[in-house]
Structure 1
Amino acid sequence: MDGITFQLLAVQLFTGLALGAIYVLLAVGLSLIFGMLTVVNFAHGAFFMVGAYAGYTVFQYIPNFWLCLVAVPLIVSLIGIVAERFLIRPLYGRGIDYPLLLTFGLAYVMVELVRIAFGKQGLPVDTPELLQNSVDIVIGQFPAYRLFVIGVTVLVLGGLWLFIEKTSFGLIIRAGARDPQIVRILGVDVGKVWLIVFGLGTAIAGLAGFLSAPLQGITPEMGGSVLIIAFVVTVVGGMGSLVGAVIAGLMIGVVESLSVLFFPEAAKVSMFVIMAIILLVRPQGLFGRAGLMS
């Protein structure tokens, strides 16, 4: 405690925001899928992992980080669209357990396929050369890549908000999340909406995996731990709430980062403590609607 200065505390806070940005992207994709499709997607962590490996593969052939930044979400969304159309959609209406179990099994299949293709050993991923330096943010030096991750997250959230709030298709998504039966009666092709929403949710997860790769490297099992974090963030924010996912993701990222500074042994436990407290006070989460799972 004696060696902790204001500068160190501030830098650690920004580190938490960068960590929280990854959590936000994960939880937003998960909440988007659940809010519209009421599918508890246990393969979400696997899509995160596939995004990291897709970026690694594309970079081997076309060593351009910025091209990968665009290509990865497209590749992962295509995989998500195929999974929704041919595997998950036939289970709609059979109860929430069926797609949950299917996505749970799908995650294992995806992990094993990656192990076959790339091996069981982890792979290092270099930070883009342009973002390897540090930036003076007044309170101290901070890695440029982490600032970049925060910036990309802000852009993604801004684009998602504009898409959902300011477009006619976004209006259909919001209406479908509240009452899909009415949307069907109005003549909207709900299947098309489901397809796009699931593809968008998995694309954001893939982007999060690609962005996290230079920070932690990539392994076939990397999706397992982040899936737990994604569900914690989603539950704390409220199942199906995008605003809740953003606030909870940043909060948990900052708390975990500060815990490393003050009490390293409790860093990984801190998010579960937050979840327990929130659920005791507000069982549906910060911004969730009561009865959504029923």
Structure 2
Amino acid sequence: MPLQLDIASILLNGLQQGAIYALLGLGLTIILGTMEFLNLAHGALYLVGAYVGMLVFRETTLTNGFLFNSGITTLGFDGGFLAAIVLVPVVGFGIGLLMERFVAEPFYDRPETDQLLVTFGLALIVEEVVKNLIGGNTFQSIAPTTIFGFDVAQPVSLPFVGLFPTWRLFIILIAFVVIGVTYLAIERTDFGLVVQAGTRDAEMVRLLGIKINRSYSLVFALGAALAAFAGLIGASIQTLSPQIGTDQALLPAFLTIVVGGAGSVRGAIAGGMVLGVIISAMTQTYSQWAQIVLYLFVAFMLIVRPEGLFGTGEVGE
């Protein structure tokens, strides 16, 4: 294949994977940057989004798990992917509100190790609940055949690339729309200004009569909704299993904000794109080295620019 074809294909696949990383990193970084709260349950929200999306999108045949043993052989609504696009972020937002109220808020003034332990424990609980209810088997990806009236099942011919899956183009488009709306909400609205001000001096914001805790709840819920939406998008191109919260979400989310800069919205987007392109390039050339090169790149970033591409201080400072 000519070099220009390889580069074009690498960039498209990198944008697709990078968009998922950016959604994950964006949700994590606005929580970390605003509340300085380390949320290791972020991957569990990705897991919930993937499974809720699957159950909304189609009816699923169960082969083990508590529900199967109770006599339920199929589970789901068969409502289509549009229904999943609407419902999954709503579910993630609601779970985020509950997490902020009952898990995060009691630990705001506790040491970071306590935050890590309680959120990691919550992630393990969610994973075990999924295993026990639905079973530990893997499920096929949930890519739709049509979306918004367009046929996305067939590949489309692109200049310099050739045939490319239409659905993967829609992933890039949908993800970037969500990322763009989130960026504008944080950077260009009164709500976003309150959040940014609270990051710098929460006490002064309270003295001005603004209920910063309410903003914190909304920020946490927004981050959870983004993680759940990333799970829905990821589930459309990857097989589902209870381990995807850690393997495919938590580690990439933290790597994204390390590269982009903790607390930076632009950094989360840029970090996701960079890591996505690296994974795409290595997967298409030397797939066995993909993860090694990825971690070497992150280590290199920590050495030469520990604050990240758009960060203002070291990660965890």
TM-score range, shorter chain: over 0.9
Aligned positions of 1:189-268 closer than 5 A: 189-225=211-247, 226-268=249-291
1:14-67 per-position Cα deviation (integer Å, ceiling 9, x unaligned): 111101111111111010110111111100011001000111122221422111
1:182-237 per-position Cα deviation (integer Å, ceiling 9, x unaligned): 11221211221111000000100000000111211211110111211111111111
Aligned residue pairs total 292
Take 1:222 and 1:293, find their aligned partners in 2: how far apart are those partners? 25
Residue 105 of structure 1 corresponds to 121
Give the one of 12, 26, 29 matched to 2:27.
29
Aligned positions of 1:144-223 closer than 5 A: 144-223=166-245
Take 1:165 and 1:248, find their aligned partners in 2: how far apart are those partners? 18
2:157 partner letter: D
Matched, 1:94 2:125: no
1:175 partner letter: A
Contact 1:255–1:271 (CA<8 Å) still a contact in 2?
A: yes
Question: Which consecutive residues of structure 2, in runs of 5 or more, have no partner in the other structure?
Answer: 58-75, 147-151
Contact 1:38–1:96 (CA<8 Å) still a contact in 2?
A: no
Take 1:100 and 1:179, find their aligned partners in 2: how far apart are those partners? 24
1:226-282 per-position Cα deviation (integer Å, ceiling 9, x unaligned): 211111111111111111111111111111111122222211112211111111111
Does the residue aligned with 2:251 lie in a helix, a strand or coil? helix
Take 2:14 and 2:196, find their aligned partners in 1: how far apart are those partners? 31
Superposition TM-score, scaled by structure 1 size = 0.95
Q: How big is the alpha-carbon RMSD for the aligned residues of Structure 1 and Structure 2?
A: 1.4
Take 2:203 and 2:143, find their aligned partners in 1: how far apart are those partners? 47
Take 2:222 and 2:273, find their aligned partners in 1: how far apart are those partners? 21
Q: Which runs of 4+ in 1 moved over 4 A?
A: none
Residue 158 of structure 2 corresponds to 137
Take 2:241 and 2:166, find their aligned partners in 1: how far apart are those partners? 24
Take 1:46 and 1:40, find their aligned partners in 2: how far apart are those partners? 14
Question: Which consecutive residues of structure 1, in runs of 5 or more, have no partner in the other structure?
Answer: none
Shift in alpha-carbon separation, 1:125–1:261, aligned structure 2, 3 A: closer
Residue 14 of structure 1 corresponds to 12
1:124-143 per-position Cα deviation (integer Å, ceiling 9, x unaligned): 13311122111222122211
Give the one of 37, 40, 59 matched to 1:39.
37
Take 1:227 and 1:90, find their aligned partners in 2: how far apart are those partners? 22
Structure with the higher helix share, 1 or 2: 1
Quote the sequence identity (%).
38
Residue 76 of structure 1 corresponds to 92
1:91 partner letter: F
Shift in alpha-carbon separation, 1:181–1:78, aligned structure 2, 3 A: same
Shift in alpha-carbon separation, 1:293–1:185, aligned structure 2, 3 A: farther
Superposition TM-score, scaled by structure 2 size = 0.88
Take 1:75 and 1:189, find their aligned partners in 2: how far apart are those partners? 24
